[in-house]
Amino acid sequence: MKSYRKELWFAVPTRRAFINMTPLLEECLLESGIREGLALVNTMHTTASVFINDDEEGLLQDYEAWLERLAPNKPITRDGYDYIGEDNIDAHLKRQVMGREVVVAITDGRLDFGSWEQVFYGEFDGGRRKRVLVKIIGE
Amino acid sequence: MKSYRKELWFAVPTRRAFINMTPLLEECLLESGIREGLALVNTMHTTASVFINDDEEGLLQDYEAWLERLAPNKPITRDGYDYIGEDNIDAHLKRQVMGREVVVAITDGRLDFGSWEQVFYGEFDGGRRKRVLVKIIGE
Amino acid sequence: MKSYRKELWFAVPTRRAFINMTPLLEECLLESGIREGLALVNTMHTTASVFINDDEEGLLQDYEAWLERLAPNKPITRDGYDYIGEDNIDAHLKRQVMGREVVVAITDGRLDFGSWEQVFYGEFDGGRRKRVLVKIIGE
């Protein structure tokens, strides 16, 4: 069994952003030399996300508005409710909806994706550098 | 390390449906000959889901209504909000709540599940054939 | 390839709770002797969750209130809507938001986490003993 590990760094100046990181993962896979196996891609932070969806501008804008409706930034006044936790609490909740990690099949030396699958880094509390872990095991 | 790959096809005529695909996965596992390892099961589409829950009719109906409340089909008029993206935008959001993939332990030649765990294909934008990827690695 | 399996039991007397299970996973990893690979940690029940976030008291209280807003306990009267399924239907929905499983990289004999990543067992329908499966594969 071969094993590969790499940290990818993201520096998002705005509070929130979605970054298509698929090309970076293709480089990692090439570097790993692994042709059959599984790749784990996870954010190492609790206010960010790694998820797979379509790279379509309207969709990414809708994610932004939709997540703000599901888990609003504080202070919120809807129904008289507000959070107990810290100022970035909404970022923890938004990341939970979008997910911490993806697992991707590696087949014949490539990321085994459907036609529209793209891997995104989702930042919900930007302004500092954060890491994504890429771990690939296989042969 | 052994490696197994199969695509399963689903053709859902309605817009939405939940299909219990556990028996198909048991066939894949038997075919793979793998007795210890991990199985990744993921939809290859961005408007569908693979998830694990209980196969209970009332629950599946409640999923349907609950997801429509969290991520309504467009046009939506609640609070004057609507989506920017395409007509099937709600399908992308619903799938994000339900998840793209599951990872299942393989122990002693079987899917290592609790008593009520069943794997579902969730379709949120039907009317065309779609694929689920089954990738198993182990020994 | 080495393979390790263990069931961890949780007995939560209240309906809901979040339990930091990271120390238990560190014990499992040590016991496994695996130094490079992947660990799958999943609840074996459909009304509980395994997820990763920050161990911060305010955050956990906000999770509780936020999930109750997204997927209320029945009977609910908001907009005249109620569930069809059983009394614990909200527990199935809450678990779907929080997730069934996490996959964690194993590097150099340790759980390969960012500074604030902690693994939680989330109980949404307590009062009986439930199991979490830990499966580690690698070398």
Split at pLDDT 50, 70, 90, the class of B91 is: very high
The answer on pLDDT for B129 being more than 80 is: yes
User: Is the full-model pTM beyond 0.90?
Assistant: yes
User: Mapping DSSP to helix (H, G, I), strand (E, B) and coil, where does residue C34 land?
Assistant: coil
**Residue from B70, B89, B134 to probe the interface with A (highest A Cβ count within 10 Å):** B89
> Which chain C residue is nearest to residue B114, measuring alpha carbons?
C44
Written as one letter, the residue type at A50 is V
Structure tokens at C28: 């499992």
- Which residues contact residue C46 at a Cβ distance below 8 angstroms, ignoring those fewer than 6 apart? B52, B53, B54, B114, B116, B117, C92, C95
Structure tokens at A19: 């970054």
Structure tokens at B86: 């395409």
b/e burial code for range C57-94 (CB count within 10 A of at least 16 → b): eebbebbbebbeebbbbbeeeeeeeebebeebbbbbbb
C-alpha of A47 from chain center: 10
| Residues of chain A with confidence (pLDDT) below 50 | none
Interface confidence (ipTM) of the complex = 0.96
B86 at A interface, C-beta within 8 A: yes
A68 at B interface, C-beta within 8 A: no
Are the CB atoms for B46 and B92 separated by under 8 Å?
Answer: yes
What residues are paired with A9 via a beta bridge?
Answer: A131
The answer on pLDDT for B78 being more than 70 is: no
Of C58, C114, C138, the CB nearest to A84: C58
